[in-house]
Amino acid sequence: MGVARNKMPASAPVANSKPVANMSKSIQEGSASSGKIAGVVAFYFVISISLVFVNKTILSSKNLSIPAPLAVTWFQCFVSAIICYAVGELGRSAKKDTFLYQFPVLRIDMKTIMSVAKLSFFFVGMITFNNLCLKYVEVSFYQVARSLTIGFNVLFTWILLSEPTTMQVIGCLAIVVLGFLLGEI
């Protein structure tokens, strides 16, 4: 009444079990990595949406309005720099496989500063214009405008960097455009 099983005779050579163990370990690491990625994406989603609503409230609320998008941008960048400095200092004494260990200690190097200066100015400009957009439009329109950057990223990558666009990317863009079209109906 039992289930028939394939049994190997005791004298049969046993295959090396290390590849199976390594494959099992690889699958476990892959699922842990997928879980970690999903957690990071979810965390980014929550923080990003929260920041949009906080900025909208700060910039255009009748009760609590700061009519200075540049000051808000400067303060947010300043606080981000302080947090990066703090976690870098905490990372010095952190164990090797911990979250804080991945943050580098702040070192001021003029060569590095000059090499990232243009990117930093563009970043501050982007945040400033995001805040200006939030000040004058509704959050829903802001999210649509922000989503349009996906298409421009692909277009500029093709034009400026001469990198080809894959069919997978075009498929994703088609889904985004379809979503915009469905939103108009």
CA 8 to chain centre: 51
Burial class of residue 57 in the structure, from the number of CB atoms within 10 Å of its CB (0-12 exposed, 13-18 middle, 19+ buried): middle
Token digits of residue 49: 């949406």
pLDDT of res. 100: 80
pTM above 0.85, yes or no: no
69 CB neighbour count, 10 Å cutoff: 21
Span 23-32, average pLDDT: 55
CB 154 within 8 A of CB 173: yes
Amino acid residing at 142? Y
Amino acid residing at 38? A
pLDDT of res. 27: 52
Task: Give the closest residue to 139 by CA, choosing from 76, 82, 54.
Answer: 54
Span 84-88, average pLDDT: 89
